[in-house]
Amino acid sequence: MARKRLTQLFPFLLPLRRWQKKRCFYLKMRLDRNRYAAQLAKTRLPYPVFEDAFTVINPESGYDIAYQYNKAHNLKLAAATMDTLVIAPGETYSFWMLCRYADKKTPYKPGLSLVDGKIRGVYGGGLCQLSDLVLWLVLHTPLTIVERHPHTVKDFPAPGMPEGVDATVSEGWLDLKVRNDTEHSYQLLLDFPDELIRGRILCSEKPQYDYCLRIDGPRYFTTQGKVYERADVYRARLDPSTGEGLEEKLLYKSCTRIGYPLPAGTAVERRN
């Protein structure tokens, strides 16, 4: 039997534990000598790099649809803190450093989130769709992924997002961080046209290369009665004039437990 955490034995300590974790979380970033991107520019950088959009409302979640509309509300609050953000050379993007006070004027609403292994409605739930989108965008650039965490459990499919492209965030615990190791500035644009969440990446100079992704997977396996999804994410650097592949690099390997029935006929490897 798994040993229970102190906050599970004494739930009244949970608010204090969260406060402590958040204080240490942000203090560590203040002292880590990284330069965190914070400038929201009034003008747009001239060269488009990549853009994509995904549906916000997921009717297949299996939960009250009100949570989906609450998620849309939460996403708009968080996105406003990083829309038009410029990541200059040497700067690091941090999801939480940007949207730490997104709910200061307008509160979040309850959205779906994984808590102690169960999906439930929690304050500010659903922000992972924004971190997923930001990850998807930067994967098509030469920016360096510094910190990224897969979801522990995926309880329903993410509409439109490729398998293996996920970046869960939890304030005080898990962040998404991306560093600009190039000589050019990059800009993030976010908006919500027609019940979609759309993201765009712009650059201060015409990109020297194009980038595309190759995802090896998803592959499924079962162990100890639980089903897992595995995907390896590669980024290829292309010659923009010919489309010829110049270099391919493994960025990360993702493994997530699946909490919903897979479609009939899906191949699942059995492991001990």
Decide: residue 182, CB within 10 A, 0-12 exposed, 13-18 middle, 19+ buried: buried
Q: Which range is least confidently modeled, 15-29, 34-48, 197-211, 235-249?
A: 15-29
Residue 118: band (very low, low, confident or very high) from pLDDT cuts 50, 70, 90: confident
pLDDT digits (tens, 9 = 90+) for 222-266: 999 899 999 999 999 999 888 888 999 999 999 999 988 898 989
pLDDT digits (tens, 9 = 90+) for 64-82: 999 999 999 999 999 999 9
Is residue 6 predicted with pLDDT exceeding 60? no
Is residue 7 predicted with pLDDT exceeding 60? no
The residue extents of the domains of the chain are 14-207
How far is it, in rounded angstroms, from Cα 114 to Cα 116? 7
pTM of the model: 0.91
Q: Average pLDDT of the chain? A: 91
Distance of CA 154 to the CA centre of its chain: 13
pLDDT at 3: 64
Is residue 114 predicted with pLDDT exceeding 90? no
Give bridge partners of residue 199 from the DSSP assignment. 52, 190
